[in-house]
A and B are shown apart, each in its own frame.
Chain A
Amino acid sequence: MPGSLASEAMRPMHERSNGLGGGFAGYGIYPEYRDFYALHMFFDCRDTRKACEAFLKERFEIVRSELIPTRKMPSITGEPIIWRYFASPLPSVLKSLQLDEKEFVARTAMRINAGMDGAFVFSSGKNMGAFKAVGYPEDVGEFYRLEEYSGYAWTAHGRYPTNTPGWWGGAHPFTLLDWSVVHNGEISSYDANRRYMEMFGYKCTLQTDTEVITYMMDYLLRVQGLTLEEAAGVIAAPFWSTIGRKADAADREKRLYLRKMFPSLLVTGPFSIVLGFTGGLMALNDRLKLRSMVVGEKGDRVFIASEEAAIRMMEPEAENIWAPAGGEPVIVRVKEGAY
């Protein structure tokens, strides 16, 4: 599917954003570099890029380094230098640090974002990439020429910042490794979540709440090895009273265990999120369902959006339109071997 499909679906959603942030994540878009981490970067100037490149070259083998192609548009202004590297961590570095590849890449992204002024890693996964900017999402899609990318899964987001600045790094999706999160809502538990995640080396640097969900998912899924369903049961844990009424004793025990094990990772406040990962997507609402979410399908494609109108934009004949319940994860996986 071309990225323009997701970008066009944002047109009827125009009223949901205010032009202060739009973005996309595409999966399966770099098949020719599938074994390399695609590092998408913002730099404030050439010197920053040179300094960052020197830093990266000590740690990675860079097989390709280029400007991300964009289109000049009157509606998108003030762009930083937007660059991408296809890179692989040097085995000698991994060996000396005794880190696995993913942990090393995640730490490198954190280190650049927290410590290198004017440089931001906004995408760091394999065979996927985020594209984001200050602007309306349909314009951002054109700006990044998304029609030239083809992927098996796309997420899209239009921002309407209410509490924090609208800036290039603050647009959704927020990514780490191949996780990406787009989020509609406002996280009341942000600071509790952030403080907990900082104990494990995750640094929140992008001035907005959604970022922490990405790191929480990385921690729960990659570091702790939870399943997607279990991670959903942590961040959108059912109420104690709901758990108490569960007839299935094994399910009840498991829910209790997850809530007790990760109390600081409960996300409160309204949210509907879509998590992108290699091989699929997971959509999740807060347990009170304070934000809307609709799912539809057609053939072997699944569509998830805040409004049915966006689904109809992508597929006018979409079928089985339904609204998942609060806290009920919807997990869509691409067929094995198809990515």
Chain B
Amino acid sequence: METINIEGLSYREINERLRATPACKLAGCRGQRFIGAGMGSGELTIEGVPGNALGAYLNGGSITVLGNAQDAVGDTMNAGEIIVHGSIGDAAGYAMRGGRILVKGDAGYRAGIHMKAYEDKVPVMVIGGRAGSFLGEYQAGGLIIVLALNGGRPVGSFPCTGMHGGKMLIRGGCGDAVLPDQVTARPAGPEDLEEASGHIRAFCGAFLYDMEDILKGPFTLVTPNSKNPYKQMYVMN
């Protein structure tokens, strides 16, 4: 695989190089934004710290980060996969509509904000560590899995604020975080785990975890409990 040293290159130059190279490794990355934006295929591996909006509008292929990633990873992504071997900043998977994000470590605030789904497009995010506050804020579709493999409360404060679609699967549970009225949490059953098992398997494959250990759970499933979440916002209707 070709290695490109991107020290001192602008995001425009980097993305032009990427479009001409189907598989490559980027070395010396230090905060350049928009890496792999709109990429439709190929395999990209990143050394160093990629800047904000990594893989924005990603439409296929895969991006692997060998350390931490910053904010807004996979913003509005539609397909493909982003694998982060460290932790991830705020607003990961912002408005993503398809594809998958796997994070070995923790996620910052607002992971999965406004994730959505459309027909066969169901975005998935798996967080190996803990998620910050406002997890799944305004979530409208897709699946968010939090594994909390290093202990601690899996989610921060105010999870699921404004959530009105999709699912969350949380290993352990939300602890003493208060869930809003429009969502329901219940112990996940075998059929819920079945649906998620392919993604958890991918996570274990990427970061070398033991799947059976993780599946011991217990898991909590959080879903919105109303088809009309705005029912009582202004008037009864």
Using a CB–CB cutoff of 8 Å, the interface residues on chain A facing chain B are: 12-13, 15, 241-242, 245, 288-289, 292, 294, 307-310, 312-313, 321, 323, 325-326
Contact = CB atoms under 8 A, between A and B. Distances in A.
B175 to A, nearest CB: 12
B33 A312 contact: no
A242 B176 CA distance: 12
A13 B30 CA distance: 10
Contacts, number: 58
A12 B89 contact: no
Given A289-B90, A307-B70, A326 B133 contact: yes
B109 A312 contact: no
Interface residues of B, number: 23
A292 B132 contact: no
Interface string B131-146: 0111000000000000
B135 to A, nearest CB: 12
A218 B222 CA distance: 45
B132 A325 contact: yes
Contacts of B59: none
Closest 7 CB pairs of A and B: A309-B31, A12-B31, A309-B49, A289-B109, A308-B49, A12-B30, A309-B30
A313 B30 contact: yes
A292 B90 contact: yes
B89 A292 contact: yes
A308 B70 contact: yes
Nearest to A313: B30
Contacts of A12: 30-32, 51
B152 to A, nearest CB: 13
A312 B48 contact: yes
B108 interface: yes
B176 to A, nearest CB: 8
Contact of B31 (A241, A242, A307): A307
Given A292-B108, A323-B132, A309 B70 contact: yes
